[in-house]
Amino acid sequence: MTQPTNQVKQFTRTLKVRVKDCHTAMLTAWACEVNTVWNWANEVSHKAATPFVGPRRFLSGFDLNNLAAGATKGDAAFSIPSATIQQVCEELATRRRQFKRTKLNWRVSNPKSSKRSLGWIPFKVRQVKAVDGGIKFNGVVFKVWDSWGLDRFELRAGSFSQDARGRWYLNICVKVDVAPSEGKEAVGIDLGLKETAVCSNGKRITGRRYRKSEKQLAVAQRAKNKRRTRAVHAKIRNQRKDELHKFSTELVRTSGAVFVGNVSSAKLVKTTMAKSTLDAGWSMLKTMLEYKCQRADVVFEVVDESLTSQTCSECGCLPASRPKGIAGLGIREWTCDDCGTVHDRDINAAKNILAAGHRRLAVGILGL
């Protein structure tokens, strides 16, 4: 009897590719038109929701699209396609409902303004097409660094976006095949500041990318070199994201269950440890683990990490020799008074998080 093969599933994924700089001027001009449409829709929605006379009316994306009909015709017509105008109106209506406001922030096109909005050009399905070495949109072929091979995918909705350095990127949704993970090991992860993440099996990532480049950033900021400052920030961000992606991908590939402590970034950023907390990127790592585990059919749970650093993972007691409070943060190794086990602080916490995850799964099974 043949063994059943792993069934390949399809998931939606957003691919990001760099657009070559020769198209910067055109995309920037179209982004200004997008900002104009956004500001017009924002003003119309606000006036309808706060009229001087008559009843209040909250315009939907469909209503705004009807009012914007004909914007691509005539002498003062927009260069962007009508479907992009519709997408902008629908996005504004969605964000207005999300934030429960009658008026959102204006999008600023002036490049010298401190409140300048980064460029954004959305598009719908079937507005773009992959051609040889580029992407065709609005009658123009944009050359990109196509590291993904976009002609292999069925392209869906997406957008062109600009970063702080003025570089343009294509963000496109596609369907990708992902096979379930063959890993069987269960792993607990302790998130920290000295090291971003430590696993119960001993794997760890140091992180602290901002700290390593802090001197370079300080030199650029004191010299008021905005271009260099943005470049250093981009390097830090890219290094952090690359490290977290590699770590999470390898972990999901070799694991059958992943458990993470419920440490809160939102609370720690209000303390003196804010810089180190933001540098660690806990939220980004949790997000990566969650969607990658979902795609690979790997169990992912966030568990309560209370007292995980103080509890002995071997005997389960709270010995007097355990690290306590803020004064105990500098204690990286300690010995349990009851059983004599020597613990690495972070690995011990990760093992306790793993045990808490197993208990949660067991409770869930019993409750069925």
- What element of type H or E holds 170? strand 168-178
Amino acid at 75: D
Residue 364 has what pLDDT? 56
Mean pLDDT, to the nearest integer, of 245-266?
A: 91
DSSP state of 193: S
* Most distant CA atoms of the chain, gap in Å: 85
Distances (CA, A) of 262 to 21, 46, 191: 42, 40, 9
Q: Quick check: 5 pLDDT over 60? A: no
Q: Write the pLDDT tens digit of every residue in 259-302.
A: 999 888 888 888 888 888 888 889 999 999 999 998 888 999 99
Amino acid at 248: S
- In the structure, what pLDDT confidence band is assigned to residue 368 with cuts at 50, 70 and 90? very low
Residue 139 has what pLDDT? 93
Q: Which residues have CB under 8 Å from 321's CB, separation 6+?
A: 334, 335, 336, 337
Distances (CA, A) of 162 to 11, 113, 275: 26, 16, 26
Instruction: Look at the block and give the residue holding tokens 């869930």.
Output: 364
148 phi and psi angles, rounded to 5 deg: -95, -20
- In the structure, what pLDDT confidence band is assigned to residue 325 with cuts at 50, 70 and 90? low
Q: Quick check: 65 pLDDT over 50? A: yes
CATH architecture of 180-368: 2-Layer Sandwich (3.30)
Residue 1 has what pLDDT? 43
Q: What percent of the chain has pLDDT over 90?
A: 56
Residue 180 C-alpha from the chain's centroid: 23
Q: Quick check: 2 pLDDT over 60? A: no
- For residue 321 the two structure tokens come to 């020799």
339 phi and psi angles, rounded to 5 deg: -110, -10
Contact 192, 309 (CB under 8 A): no
Which of 94-98, 178-182, 310-314 is the most confident on average?
A: 94-98
Q: Write the pLDDT tens digit of every residue in 188-216.
A: 999 988 889 999 988 988 888 888 899 99
168: β partners: 162
Residue 3 has what pLDDT? 47
Q: Write the pLDDT tens digit of every residue in 81-99.
A: 999 999 999 999 999 999 9
Where are the domains positioned within the chain? 13-177, 180-368
Contact 144, 16 (CB under 8 A): no
Q: Quick check: 172 pLDDT over 80? A: yes
64 phi and psi angles, rounded to 5 deg: -65, -35
Residue 345 has what pLDDT? 84
Residue 268 has what pLDDT? 85
Helix (H, G, I), strand (E, B) or coil at 57: coil
Q: Which residues have CB under 8 Å from 229's CB, separation 6+?
A: 217, 220, 221
Residue 34 has what pLDDT? 97
Instruction: Look at the block and give the residue holding tokens 């400052």.
Output: 229
Contact 204, 280 (CB under 8 A): no
Among 19, 30, 16, 20, smallest CA distance to 138 is for: 30
| CA-CA-CA-CA dihedral for 143, 147, 149, 150, to nearest 10 | -60
